[in-house]
Structure 1
Amino acid sequence: MPRRLLPALLLTASLMGLVACGDKPEPPVAEKAAGHVFTAARTEVDDLKPIAGTLTSYKMAEASARLSGTLVDLRVREGDVVQKGQLIGRVQDSKIAPQTSAYSAQAAAADAQTVQARAQYNRVKTLFDKGIYAQAALDQAEAGYKSAEASARAAHAQVAASNAYGNEGAIYAPDSGRILRAPVPQGSVVMMGQSVATITAGEPVVRIELPEGQGRALKPGDTVELSVPGRTASGTITQVYPSVSLGQITADVTPSGLQDLPIGARVTAYIRLGRRPAVVLPRSYVQTRYGLDYVRLVQPDGHVVETTVETTDYDATQIEIIGGLNSGDRLAAYGGQ
């Protein structure tokens, strides 16, 4: 053996001897079960399938521009609540004002011609009454007067039409609701029919999609449990769409208690697909640490030992045990509940 290895081996042997001669650590004191003890049992439960849904609305009303021009005024922003008929913006066409001015000038000229034609008619009628003018002169003057009046009415109608077209620039809320999107900034050029704001009208719904085979179990009126981070709620299936798209069936769930969530929020819906046997525990009896799930198993003498189990989510308040427990095992809750 090389001489340089001898000191290292002696040191290692000395340390091992010290460890062997030292006091052994005392085993941890087993904890007694406190609080309510839950007995695991395999029972018939609802076969729940968690489905990712989206909070949306039955109706999406579009507030659109009725003429092309510049969005000179926008009075709402995303999240605002509006009422049906409320003015939310205005589009201005720069060509309308000059056209209206031109039509107004034509109307003024037509009014002047009408005044002149009326005066001419009155003069001719006076001379006709005195026997100076013939009937033909009176008829001619009367026709000129009536033609001038008709021209004036047409000119004023053109002015009114131009003003009405200019008023088409006003954008009103088509329905009561909340502004979901207002993507066009003030000062932008918009085209006729372009949407300036999207309004969520009506009660919100959670829209879900299931494979066709499972979707056949959905029925209007069924109760559905809903879950968002930190909250749970319930809902009722109000509509099952009759068409199948890409092998999926779509349904709407009307929630209770989620009206304050923003449109587009993700909601988990637990759909009942039948009944099956399972071991289900309240979530307070399971604790996850470092990627492993633990339960506190109560021994016959009342002491508690932790053991790992395999789990999967059952619903928002309970968890299903897949493996690691037997029916009849007694469990203590974490936190002494």
Structure 2
Amino acid sequence: MRIKLNGIAAIGLLLALPLAGCSSGEETAAVQKAPAGPRLVLASTDAAAWQDVAAEIATVDQAQVLARIPGILTSLSVREGDMVRKGQVIGRIVDSQLGYQSGAYGAQAAAAQAQAAQAAAELERVRFLHQNGVYAKARLEQAQAAASAAQAQVRAARAQQAAVGAVAGQGEVVAPTDGRVLRADVPAGSPVAPGMPIAVITAGPTIVRLTMPESLADKVRPGAQVMADGRSGRVVKVYPAITAGQVIADVDMPGIDNSTIGRRVAAKVETGSRKALLVPASYVTSRYGIDYVTVLAKDGSAAQVPVQTAPSAETGKVELLSGVAAGDTLIAPAKGG
């Protein structure tokens, strides 16, 4: 009976030896699975903190073309989108009453001119008689005063006529600056009043105008980076006034499409800095819509770890939001793998 048990123990020992050898081989294979590519130890770095805000394509200023006199807008030669030059006449306003006033003042000037001619002739006659001792000096002075008064009436009537002509000249609708016509929605033939906007023209360079909640007023400063419409720019001005809980900022963004002023665009503005894990995009692989990084374990093995990523402002890098921590060692995947 004892011999039989020893035989069973021997058989069990023989079966255990191959299993032990197999376990050792698996551990060796696991260690060898770690790729030999570049390695990176994760460390927290300062990264820009971003906030999504509303934005639109705008210009530094918008110039309104206003009616300067009352009357009828007889012509308007521009439409939305047209380019205009400073001083260009784009329309005309006519006040029919000005024509009547000009005619009346013209008639007054003609009458005054006739009276002045009569007074001048009378002055010459009185002067001749005074020189010949017929009239006294007082009569001569009286004739001189009458002639001077008649000339003054002529000048007054002509000045009134010129004033009416100047007012009529203000009926020209003139572009105040170079730019593009944004609105010109008053049709020709419409009556207009002084101060009524006839058209709106862009003035100054094209910018991106941000509309932000007032909580960002102390976080956004001139020089802050802004991303919008696939381009990058910098805040050049933050308006000090807060209206309806919102603050406005202007962004200089070269190359922005200004074909449509007022177009809304998606934008985000830099509001400070925060700690983030930034890695080169080459360390991240994607399979079936999930991002993975290769993490080196303490025993030398490697594991594919799913991570959540986000775009980074630094070219060629992404931010790791979850799945790994500072101090972990990443292994870049082999090229072509």
Would the aligned equivalents of 2:293 and 2:307 in 1 still touch at CA under 8 Å?
Answer: no
After superposition, the Cα gap between the structure-2 partners of 1:216 and 1:74, relative to the gap in structure 1 and judged at 3 Å, is same
Taking the aligned partners of 1:127 and 1:212, their CA distance within structure 2 comes to 90
Amino acid at match of 2:134: I
1:118 is aligned, of 92, 117, 120, to 120
1:253 aligns with 251
Alpha-carbon contact 2:285-2:293 (below 8 Å) kept: no
Q: Within 5 A, what are the aligned runs for 1:58-77?
A: 58-77=60-79
Partner of 1:4: none
1:294 aligns with 2:289: yes
Question: Quick one: which amino acid aligns to residue 99 of structure 2?
Answer: A
**Structure 2 unaligned regions, length at least 5:** 1-37, 296-304
Q: CA deviation at 1:67?
A: 0.9
Which residues of structure 1 form unaligned runs of 5+?
A: 1-36, 301-306
Q: What displacement does 1:319 show?
A: 7.4
| 2:58/2:209 contact within 8 Å kept | yes
Task: Establish whether residue 200 from structure 1 lines up as the match of residue 206 from structure 2.
Answer: no
Q: 1:332 to 1:239 in 2, by over 3 A?
A: farther
1:160 aligned to which of 162, 165, 170: 162
Rounded Cα–Cα distance in structure 1 between residues aligned with 2:157 and 2:293: 97
Deviation at 1:209, TM superposition (A): 3.0
Structure index of larger Rg: 2
Q: Take 1:111 and 1:117, find their aligned partners in 2: how far apart are those partners?
A: 10
Partner of 1:175: 177
SS at match of 2:163: helix
* Equivalent-residue separation in structure 1 for 2:333 and 2:202 (angstroms): 48
* Contact preservation (8 Å) 2:226, 2:251: no
Partner of 2:239: 241
Which letter maps to 1:294? Answer: G
Q: Percent identity?
A: 38
1:96–1:243 CA distance, 2 compared to 1 (3 A): closer
- 8 Å contact kept, 1:182–1:196: yes
- Alignment match of 2:148 (pick from 146, 156, 162): 146
* Aligned counterpart, 1:271: 270
- The farther-off stretch of 146-155 and 93-102 is 146-155
What SS does structure 1 have at the residue aligned with 2:289?
A: strand
> What is the root-mean-square deviation of aligned Cα atoms in Å?
3.8
Give me the whole-angstrom Cα distance separating, in 1, the residues matched to 2:291 and 2:272. 31
Taking a change above 3 Å as real, the CA distance of residues 280 and 209 of structure 1, as seen in their structure-2 partners, is farther
Change (3 A) 1:107 1:90: same
TM-score (norm 1): 0.70
8 Å CA contact 1:297–1:332 kept in 2: the answer is: no
Residues 144 and 174 of structure 1, relative CA distance in 2, 3 Å threshold: same
Partner of 2:221: 219
2: CA distance, partners of 1:280 / 1:187: 66
